[in-house]
Structure 1
Amino acid sequence: MGDEGKIDPSSPFYLGSGNQLGNLITHVILKGDNYLSWSRAITLSLKSKRKFGFVDGTISKPTEKKKMLDWDTVNSMLVSWILRAIEPKLAASIPFFDEAKRPWDYLEKRYCEASGPRLQQLRASIINCKQLQNMSVEDYYNQLMGFFDDLVRLKPPHGCDCGNCSCNVAAKYELDRDEEKLHQFLVNIDDAKYAVVQTNLLSQQPPATLDRAYQALLQEERSRNIAQTKSHEDKAEAHVFALPDRGKQFFVQRDKLRLFCSHCK
Structure 2
Amino acid sequence: MEQSSHQEGISNGNQPPVLVSLDLTSVFYVHPSENAGSTLVPVLFDGSGYHSWRRAILRGLSIKNKTGFINGKVQRPSTDSVEFSQWERCNDMVTSWILNSLSKDLRDSLQYVDNARELWIELEDMYDQTNRAKLYQLQREINDLSQGNLDITGYYTRIKKLWEELNTLDTNSQCTCTGKSKIHRAELDRRLIQLL
Question: TM-score under structure 2 normalisation?
Answer: 0.77
Q: What is the one-letter code of the residue matched to 1:42? A: I
8 Å contact kept, 2:76–2:84: yes
Query: How many residues are paired up?
Result: 179
Confirm or deny that 1:52 pairs with 2:59: no
How far apart are 1:26 and its partner, in Å? 1.0
2:101 counterpart of 1:85: yes
- Give me the whole-angstrom Cα distance separating, in 1, the residues matched to 2:188 and 2:21: 48
More off after superposition, 62-71 vs 125-134: 125-134
Look up the match of 2:76: 61
Any gaps of 5 or more consecutive residues in structure 1? Answer: 160-168, 190-265
Q: Does residue 125 of the first structure (1) align with residue 132 of the second (2)?
A: no
Preserved CA contact (<8 Å) 2:44 2:101: yes
Does residue 1:19 correspond to 2:26, yes or no? Answer: no
Matched, 1:170 2:177: yes
Distance 1:135 1:50 in 2: 40
Q: CA deviation at 1:24?
A: 1.6
Q: Determine the C-alpha separation between the residues in 2 that align with 1:126 and 1:79.
A: 36
In structure 2, what residue type is equivalent to 1:175? K
Q: How does 1:240-255 map to 2 (within 5 A)?
A: none
Q: Mark the structure with the bigger radius of gyration.
A: 1
Mapping for residues 69-218 of structure 1, pairs under 5 Å: 69-131=85-147, 133-137=149-153, 140-157=155-172, 159=175, 170-189=177-196
Q: Distance in 1 between matches of 2:162 and 2:27?
A: 32
**CA–CA distance in structure 2, aligned partners of residues 6 and 125 of structure 1:** 55
- SS across alignment from 2:22: coil
Deviation at 1:140, TM superposition (A): 4.5
- Shift in alpha-carbon separation, 1:171–1:18, aligned structure 2, 3 A: farther
Partner Cα distance (1:60, 1:33) in 2: 30
Offset, 1:92: 1.1
Structure 1 residues 108 and 130 mapped into 2: Cα distance closer, same or farther (>3 Å)? farther
Structure 2 residues without counterparts, runs of 5 or longer: 8-18
Is the helix fraction higher in 1 or 2?
A: 1
Q: Secondary structure at the match of 1:50?
A: coil
What does residue 43 of structure 1 align with? 58
Trace 1:226-241 onto structure 2 (pairs within 5 A): none
Tell me, yes or no, if the aligned pair for 1:131 and 1:140 is still in contact at 8 Å.
yes
TM-score normalized by structure 1?
0.59
Cα distance in 2 between the residues matched to 1:34 and 1:91? 16
Residues in 2 aligned to 1:18 and 1:85: alpha-carbon distance in whole angstroms:
18
